Amino acid sequence: MGKIENLSQVRMIAAGIKAAALHIKGKIATYPPVKRLTRASVYGSSFQTDKQRRYFFYALAKGKIEVPYRRGESPGSRTLGRRWTIATSNNGLTAIVGNNAPYGPLVQAKDRQTLYHKAVGWQTDEDVVEKERGAVVQFIQYEVQRAMRG
């Protein structure tokens, strides 16, 4: 960063960071293919906490969810993929990809993902970042090199 001399160079690098963030957003917002789960693959061990189990049965009784779940049709389907966002700061040199769905961490956060969502095939946030690390670096390196050429 010591060699960055003007605002146009900062803007070019910020564009690379934004492109990298958009790439991550596109990858993490991808739904897993629909697949049938066997009873043995999920049921009986779906809940990691008692709180998750209690909420599931509460929501089922109140009609907030239904079993079997139908993506995009069932009550409570809140279009998780469209709720991924990007926030930038530091003149665009910092980008944060996040999801504003209240249930998002139970679906895609590495440390909170339920066994059901794992069995269905949802990628976690950390898995996507690790898998796409090389692409992120390439987006940013390209713009840094372009900025240095002037």
Cβ-proximal residues to 107 (8 Å cutoff; 6+ apart), any chain: 80, 101, 113, 114, 117, 122
DSSP state of 87: E
Extract long-range pairs of 140-144: CB within 8 Å, 24+ residues apart: 140/13, 140/16, 140/17, 140/20, 141/16, 142/16, 143/12, 143/13, 143/15, 143/16, 143/17, 143/19, 144/13, 144/16
Classified as helix, coil or strand, 124 is coil
The rounded distance, in Å, linking the Cα atoms of 103 and 68 is 18
* pLDDT tens track, the chain, 150 positions: 556 666 678 888 899 999 999 999 999 999 888 766 655 555 555 677 788 788 888 988 988 777 776 766 766 666 788 899 999 999 999 999 999 988 899 999 999 998 888 888 899 999 999 999 999 999 999 988 888 886
Look at the pTM and tell me if it is higher than 0.85.
no
